[in-house]
C-alpha cells in the first residue's frame, strides 16, 4: 500500500497525543476507559478497512467528485457542506488548542491574537498547495520528527520516575462499563484515514491496495498511541493526582530531563515536535475543507491575472472565525466543546459510510 496512506493515519494519531484525548481518557480511568479504548480500536480498524475498500474502487477520484456524480443535488450539497464544517472544526480545534498551550507554557505575555495569527499566516499558504505537495511536506517533516517521537516515548517508559504500580491500579477498573466520551475520544485517533475524501485524488495511476495486514498495522499503531497517552501520564504523575493536571502530556514531558542534552528540559523538545505535528494536522484538515468548499462554491469570473480568487474568500472567513474563537473561548470551554464534537463523530462517520454504499451501488462497481 502507498506509504502516504500511513502518513494520513499517523499524523492524526500523533496530533491527539497531547491535549483533549488523553485528558478525556484519564478523566474516565475509573469509569470504563480501558474497555472503551478496546471498542474504539475495533471500530477504528473497521472504519479504516471501509475507507480503503471504497476508495480502492475509485482510483484518482475524490469524494466531492463522486458525490456530485452519483448523488442527487439536494443530497450531495448538504452532505458536502456538513463535512466541510466538520473538517474545519477539527482544524480549528487544533489551532486554538496549540495557541492556548503556547501562551501558557512559552509565551505568557504574548496576545492570543498574535499567536493564532502567526499560525494562520503559514497555514494560509499551505492549504492552497497542490494535494501531492502537501503529502511530500508531511513525509519530510515526519522523517525528521519520528526519531524524536520514538526517543521521547522510550525515555518516558524507561525513566526512573515511571511507576508501573499506578498502571496496575488502573487495570483493576477494566471491568467497568464503557464510557461514551472515552470511546469517542479514542475513536477520533483512527479517523485520519477520513482525509482520503480528498487525498485519494493523489493516486490516479493505480487503486489503493487494502488488506487485513495493512489494517492491522494501522490498528497496531493506534493501540500503541492509546497505550502511551493513557499509561505514561499516569505512571509518571500517579493514579489519583492526574485529575489536577490541565495538560497531562505536557506536564509529564516537563518531568523528564536530558542531563547531557543541549536543552535539559524535554518540554521544549516536546512542544517543538507538537508544533510540527499540529501544523501538519491543521494543514490536512483545512486543505480538505477548502477543496470541499471549492467543489460547492466557485466564482468563475472572480479572477486576477488569470488566478481565481475564490479560495482566498474561504481563507478570509477562516481567519475571522479562528481569531474570534481564540479570543472568546476559555481553555475550559474549548475542552467542553471538543467533547461535544467527539460525541458527533460516530454518527457523522456512519453518514459518510452510508453515502459510500449508495455511491458504490449507483456506480455499479
Q: Are 58 and 65 in contact (CB under 8 A)?
A: no
**Residue the block writes with cell 503559514:** 122
**pLDDT for residue 189 is more than 90:** yes
**pLDDT for residue 263 is more than 80:** no
Mean pLDDT, range 139-167, rounded to an integer: 82
Q: Cell for 308?
A: 481565481
CA dihedral 16, 194, 122, 332 (to 10 degrees): -40
Cβ contacts of residue 194 below 8 Å, gap of 6+? 47, 51, 349, 352
What DSSP letter does each residue of 277-333 carry, written as one string? HHHHHHHHHHHHHHHHHHHH---TT-EETTEE-HHHHHHHHHHHHHHHHHHH--HHH
42 versus 267: the higher-pLDDT residue is 42
Q: Cell for 56?
A: 480502492
Q: Which of 147-156, 261-270, 328-337 has the lowest mean pLDDT?
A: 261-270
Q: Cell for 293?
A: 468548499
Residue 37's pLDDT is what? 94
A 10 A CB-CB count for 243 gives 12
Residue 184's pLDDT is what? 95
- Domain ranges within the chain, ordered by starting residue: 3-363
> Which value, in Å, is the radius of gyration of the alpha carbons in the chain?
21
Helix, strand, coil tally for the chain in percent (to 5) = 75, 0, 20
257 versus 62: the higher-pLDDT residue is 62
The pLDDT confidence band at residue 165, using thresholds 50, 70 and 90, is: confident
77 versus 214: the higher-pLDDT residue is 77
Residue 261's pLDDT is what? 57
Mean pLDDT, range 333-344, rounded to an integer: 93
**pLDDT for residue 204 is more than 70:** no
The pLDDT confidence band at residue 101, using thresholds 50, 70 and 90, is: confident
On the CB side of 57, how many CA atoms lie within 13 Å of its CA?
16
Residue 145's pLDDT is what? 80
C-alpha angle 34-278-208 in degrees, rounded to nearest 5: 75
Residue 208's pLDDT is what? 67
174 versus 149: the higher-pLDDT residue is 174
d(CA 64, CA 80): 7
The pLDDT confidence band at residue 210, using thresholds 50, 70 and 90, is: low
pLDDT in tens, 20-36: 888 899 889 888 899 99
| Max avg pLDDT among 127-141, 177-191, 272-286 | 177-191
Query: What pTM was estimated for this model as a whole?
Result: 0.91
Q: Are 26 and 233 in contact (CB under 8 A)?
A: yes
Give me the CATH code for the 3-363 domain, please: 1.20.1740.10
217 versus 183: the higher-pLDDT residue is 183
By the 10 Å C-beta count (0-12 exposed, 13-18 middle, 19+ buried), 246 is classed as: middle
d(CA 150, CA 223): 15
d(CA 193, CA 318): 23
Residue 278's pLDDT is what? 84
The pLDDT confidence band at residue 90, using thresholds 50, 70 and 90, is: very high
Q: Cell for 163?
A: 511507576
Q: How far is CA 226 from CA 13, 57, 273, in A?
A: 9, 31, 18
Amino acid at each position: 500500500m502507498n506509504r502516504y496512506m500511513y502518513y494520513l493515519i499517523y499524523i492524526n494519531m500523533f496530533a491527539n497525543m497531547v491535549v483533549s484525548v488523553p485528558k478525556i481518557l484519564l478523566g474516565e480511568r475509573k469509569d470504563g476507559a480501558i474497555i472503551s479504548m478496546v471498542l474504539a480500536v475495533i471500530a477504528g480498524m473497521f472504519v479504516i478497512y471501509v475507507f480503503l475498500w471504497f476508495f480502492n474502487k475509485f482510483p484518482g477520484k475524490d469524494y466531492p467528485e463522486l458525490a456530485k456524480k452519483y448523488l442527487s443535488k439536494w443530497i450531495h450539497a448538504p452532505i458536502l457542506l456538513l463535512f466541510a464544517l466538520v473538517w474545519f472544526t477539527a482544524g480549528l480545534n487544533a489551532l486554538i488548542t496549540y495557541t492556548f498551550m503556547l501562551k501558557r507554557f512559552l509565551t505568557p505575555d504574548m496576545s492570543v491574537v498574535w499567536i493564532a495569527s502567526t499560525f494562520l499566516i503559514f497555514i494560509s499558504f499551505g492549504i492552497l498547495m497542490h494535494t501531492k505537495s502537501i503529502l511530500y511536506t508531511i513525509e519530510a517533516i515526519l522523517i525528521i520528527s519520528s526519531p524524536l517521537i520514538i526517543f521521547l516515548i522510550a525515555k518516558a517508559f524507561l525513566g526512573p520516575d515511571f511507576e508501573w504500580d499506578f498502571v496496575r491500579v488502573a487495570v483493576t477498573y477494566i471491568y467497568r462499563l464503557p464510557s461514551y466520551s472515552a470511546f469517542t475520544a479514542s475513536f477520533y485517533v483512527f479517523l485520519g484515514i477520513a482525509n482520503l475524501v480528498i487525498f485519494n485524488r493523489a493516486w490516479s495511476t493505480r487503486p489503493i491496495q487494502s488488506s487485513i495486514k495493512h489494517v492491522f498495522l494501522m490498528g497496531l499503531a493506534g493501540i500503541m498511541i492509546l497505550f502511551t497517552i493513557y499509561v505514561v501520564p499516569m505512571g509518571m504523575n500517579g493514579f489519583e493526582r492526574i485529575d489536577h493536571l490541565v495538560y497531562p502530556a505536557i506536564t509529564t514531558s516537563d518531568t523528564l530531563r536530558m542531563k547531557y542534552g543541549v536543552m535539559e528540559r524535554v518540554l521544549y523538545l516536546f512542544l517543538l515536535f507538537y508544533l510540527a505535528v499540529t501544523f501538519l494536522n491543521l494543514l490536512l484538515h483545512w486543505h480538505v475543507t477548502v477543496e470541499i468548499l471549492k467543489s460547492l462554491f466557485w466564482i468563475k469570473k472572480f479572477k486576477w491575472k488569470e488566478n481565481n480568487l475564490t479560495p482566498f474568500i474561504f481563507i478570509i472567513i477562516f481567519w475571522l472565525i479562528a481569531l474570534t474563537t481564540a479570543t472568546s473561548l476559555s481553555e475550559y470551554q474549548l475542552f467542553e466543546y471538543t467533547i461535544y464534537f467527539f460525541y458527533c463523530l460516530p454518527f457523522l462517520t456512519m453518514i459518510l459510510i452510508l453515502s459510500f454504499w449508495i455511491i458504490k451501488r449507483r456506480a455499479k462497481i
